[in-house]
Chain A
Amino acid sequence: MTDFSSLTLTEVLTGLKAKDFTAVELADATVAAADSAQGALNAFTMIDGERARDMAKASDAKIARGEGGALEGAPIAIKDLFAVRGVTTTASSNILAGFKPEYESTVTQQLWDQGAVFFAKTSMDEFAMGSSNETANTGPVINPWRAKGSDEKLVPGGSSGGSATALSAGISYGATGTDTGGSIRQPAAFTGLVGVKPTYGRCSRWGVVAFASSLDHPGPFAKTVKDSALLTQVMSGHDPKDSTSYPGAVPDWASAVGKSVKGLRIGVPREYRMDGMPGEIETLWSQGVEWLKAAGCEIVDISLPMTKYALPAYYIIAPAEASSNLARYDGMRFGARVEGEDLIDTYEKTRGAGFGDEVQRRILIGTYVLSAGYYDAYYLKALKVRRKIYEDFNEAFEKVDAILTPTTPSAAFAIGSKANADPIEMYLNDIFTVTANIAGVPAMSVPAGLDANGLPLGLQVITRALDEETMFKVGAAIEDSASFKAKPEKWW
């Protein structure tokens, strides 16, 4: 029997087409792997073997007729932020306990239209607020990776930690995530995967539980850059149901992978050299620069002077939007309700019981910065700083075609290790990723090496808005040079 767990999406699709195995065999093996890992890794909020089998059967029938879409028969894990019709969709929050949408998100619909097979929803930080997947109402997700010679449990990163864990444990062949401040790229870096945040508006937000609408970006996790390009392609496209959806055509990104990067100008922003950053990250970054130089790129020192203001601006804008978006959870029309003495009491009890600590913290911050007397000092100020960050990128992209940075300031950390820390310490995880959300430009993380403890580290490639093609080309060049083949040793 084929060991499916080590196959990439492209390999799985080739095998299905060649009838080396059937979609049903693949789906059954995927569901069995998910079931057997769930106790140790806690990556899923639900697993649906029956639906997987039904969809796989339909795929097998299509493949037998010589038909089928771009992902025909491939199991794809879905972050619990995406509405899937008839399947519990909770955003890992008690306030949405038992919620089964009667509609399908545009992104998942596009996956199913191309033949992808649903088998599970993945855990996440509650409402996508977090960088460690420790705030999920179903408990922390465990990273399949462990430090050499240690059995200490590590976080997979967040907020899309369940998706990253599932894929890196070999349980899926692609996974969806959402990235509001780094929630795809940071977990991808922590688990040795490729993670893509396309340009704002490429992937429809319709049917995706909203966190901060102007910063939320759906995107994929994949094992290789080519797989990630294919998934981004399928997930992208204009959607009239999302007023910020980009109306232009989706290019063939998968075919960009492997094209020469010769002559591309790569910017190295000096502000990303942070105090206290581990030497290994610095070394890996320099290594990345050398790889791209060897591939024929021209390296340019650039400055993004607003970098250090991106996180503070984010922690005004994102909570402000969240406090507004999350106002809909009032226990009246859907989700959980805690009955109180009157209407207001019912609202307050419902929201007090339904939202976890971190979500409440952010709603309170957001409510405060939008409240009378503070709006100008905080919210309006942050929006102005946002434009300055955006202009930083515009200026940089006059001189360079892509920007290379580390994805995260550290490798995966231990579960609970930041529990007593100041919330800001957790927020700093997104220091290198959040700028691309603020500016809306495409960015991806590519696994590039291991640290001294044997834990994966990622490099980030950022390009101009709508120029995913260059991002995938540069990402593939790094992948080629790094030839990152490491996998977590199976202990689960």
Chain B
Amino acid sequence: MSVTKDEVRRIAGLARIKEPSDRLDALTDELNGILNWVEMLDEVDVEDVEPMTTAAPTKLPLREDVVTDGGKRDAILKNAPRSEEGFFVVPKSVE
């Protein structure tokens, strides 16, 4: 499989990265290089093999559903690019 420039544009959109117009040709080639290389995996017979998502073969732990943290509004806002009166200030997101 390989990707076209249009697909790279579409993927960049999905990833919310500004269209890399000046590097689009090079980037398309690089992505295709990587995609061709990983196709090596097609040689491996994975019939009936369970996908492995973690190297920690344990069940995810559960804990009591109680509040253990909080009351840190100012600490959380400290790194905000913009904030006002205890709120994050963000571009309009609802029409």
Contact = CB atoms under 8 A, between A and B. Distances in A.
Interface string B33-49: 11101111111101001
B61 A423 contact: no
A246 B1 CA distance: 39
Contacts of A367: 11, 14-15
Contact of B33 (A102, A351, A357, A423): A423
Given A312-B37, A343-B93, A380 B55 contact: no
A351 B15 CA distance: 9
Contact of A351 (B17, B38, B82, B91): B17
B56 A385 contact: no
B88 A368 contact: no
A175 to B, nearest CB: 24
A364 B90 contact: no
Nearest to A436: B55
A355 interface: yes
Interface in A281-313: 306, 308-309, 312-313
Interface in A315-368: 315-316, 323, 327, 330-337, 339-340, 342-344, 346-349, 351-353, 355, 357, 360-361, 363-365, 367-368
Contacts of A383: 51-53
Nearest to A389: B52
Interface string B52-73: 1111101011010000000010
A378 B38 contact: yes
Contacts of B86: none
A90 to B, nearest CB: 12
B23 A100 contact: no
B75 A102 contact: yes
A154 interface: no
A309 B44 contact: yes
A364 B11 contact: yes
B7 to A, nearest CB: 8
A364 B72 contact: no
Interface range on chain B (Cβ under 8 Å from partner): 35 or more
Contact of A384 (B38, B51, B76, B91): B51
Residue in B1, B17, B75, B92 whose Cβ sees the most chain A Cβ within 10 Å: B17
A390 interface: yes
A333 B79 CA distance: 7
Contacts of A353: 18
A387 B1 CA distance: 24
Contact of B46 (A246, A348, A355, A381): A381
B79 A360 contact: no
25 contacts: A100-B79, A101-B79, A102-B78, A214-B53, A243-B61, A244-B56, A308-B40, A315-B38, A333-B88, A335-B79, A343-B90, A346-B91, A361-B31, A364-B8, A364-B31, A368-B3, A382-B38, A383-B52, A384-B44, A384-B49, A387-B51, A390-B55, A422-B30, A423-B34, A424-B37
Given A214-B53, A243-B61, A339-B91, 19 more contacts: A244-B54, A312-B39, A316-B41, A334-B80, A334-B81, A335-B81, A343-B90, A343-B93, A361-B27, A361-B34, A364-B15, A364-B17, A365-B34, A365-B35, A371-B11, A381-B41, A383-B53, A386-B51, A465-B55
